[in-house]
A and B are shown apart, each in its own frame.
Chain A
Amino acid sequence: MGAMKPLRRLLGLSLLLGLWMTAGVLPTLAAERTLEARLLWATDDEKSPDPSHKKVEDALAQKLKIMPLKYKNYFEVTRKIFTINDANYVKVEVSKQCYIEVKDKGENRVTVKLYGEGKLTKRVDSALPKGETVAIAGDDKNGTAWLVVVCPVEGKPK
Chain B
Amino acid sequence: MNTDFKLKLQSLVDGELGESEARALEARLVGDAEAQALKAELEMTRQALRGNELERAVPLSREFYWSQIERRIEQAERQAARSSSGLAVWLGRFWPQLAGATAAACLLAVVALNLRGVSESPWEDIETPLAEAGSFSFRSEQHRMTLVWVSFGEPSNEGTTEGTVN
A63 to B148, CA, bound (A): 14
A123 to B12, CA, bound (A): 95
A12 to B95, CA, bound (A): 8
A139 to B128, CA, bound (A): 16
Instruction: Select which of A42, A107, A136 is within 8 A of B150 by beta carbon.
Output: A136
Q: Report whether A137 and B143 are in contact in the complex, using a CB–CB cutoff of 8 Å.
A: no
Measured CB to CB, the nearest residue on chain B to A128 is B122
Measured CB to CB, the nearest residue on chain B to A140 is B159
Residues of A within 8 A of B97 (CB): 12
0/1 string, A102-127, CB within 8 A of B gives 1: 00010111000010000111111111
Measured CB to CB, the nearest residue on chain B to A64 is B145
Residues of B within 8 A of A157 (CB): none
Are A122 and B150 CB-contacts (below 8 A) given A11-B96, A63-B143, A132-B122? yes
Q: Report whether B150 and A121 are in contact in the complex, using a CB–CB cutoff of 8 Å.
A: yes
8 Å CB contacts to A: which residues of B119-166? Answer: 121-130, 133, 135, 138, 140, 142-152, 156, 158-161, 164-165
Whether B31 is near chain A, meaning CB under 8 Å from some CB there, is no
- Segment with Cβ contacts to A, from B34-42, B77-85, B103-111: B103-111
Assuming A12-B95, A68-B165, what are 5 further A-B pairs, CB within 8 angstroms?
Answer: A12-B99, A68-B160, A105-B124, A121-B130, A135-B148
Q: Could you write out 22 A-B pairs with CB less than 8 Å apart?
A: A12-B99, A15-B96, A15-B100, A19-B106, A23-B107, A66-B140, A67-B147, A68-B165, A69-B161, A70-B160, A105-B124, A109-B124, A119-B129, A121-B128, A121-B129, A121-B133, A122-B135, A125-B125, A138-B149, A138-B151, A139-B158, A139-B159
